[in-house]
Amino acid sequence: MGARRLKLLDDSGHEVATRELGSLAPGRQSLTLPQDLPPGRYRHTIEIKDANDAAVPVTTYTTGSVDGVYFKNGEIVLRIGGSEISLDDLAEIENAS
């Protein structure tokens, strides 16, 4: 069986958390980060491999509340927590629930 793993990296590229994802159905999945992470900026990698150990391509998205909107280098940027997301990279807006 192939690997299914989420890795969380800090600003220095050091791995701070890993979660084995187990069996995943095809399609959209939602994952939450560990609650005990200290405040900071993180990036993630997702590694999915099939039964033949071949990499399976994935697309990841981040969710959050928009804290601000501003122009930067001629483009509209959304601030979500400590992250900057270009409006061109936005996939969906929905009501907070």
Together in a domain, 43 and 68:
no
- So what's the pLDDT on residue 1? 55
Integer Cα distance of 24 and 70 in angstroms? 37
Residue 41 covered by a domain: yes
**pTM score of the predicted model:** 0.65
Residue 56 covered by a domain: no
Residue 90 covered by a domain: yes
Q: How many domains does the chain have?
A: 2
Phi, psi (rounded to 5 degrees) for 11: -60, -25
- 22-42: pLDDT as tens digits: 887 788 888 877 778 887 788
The residue segments making up the domain with residue 87 are 64-97
Q: Is 2's pLDDT higher than 70?
A: no
- 49-93: pLDDT as tens digits: 888 889 888 888 888 889 999 999 999 999 987 788 899 988 888
Residue 72 covered by a domain: yes
Integer Cα distance of 16 and 2 in angstroms? 22
Integer Cα distance of 64 and 79 in angstroms? 10
Beta-carbon-side half-sphere exposure of residue 36 (alpha carbons within 13 Å): 2
Q: Is 47's pLDDT higher than 80?
A: yes
Together in a domain, 42 and 9:
yes
Cβ-in-10-Å burial (0-12, 13-18, 19+) of 9 comes to middle
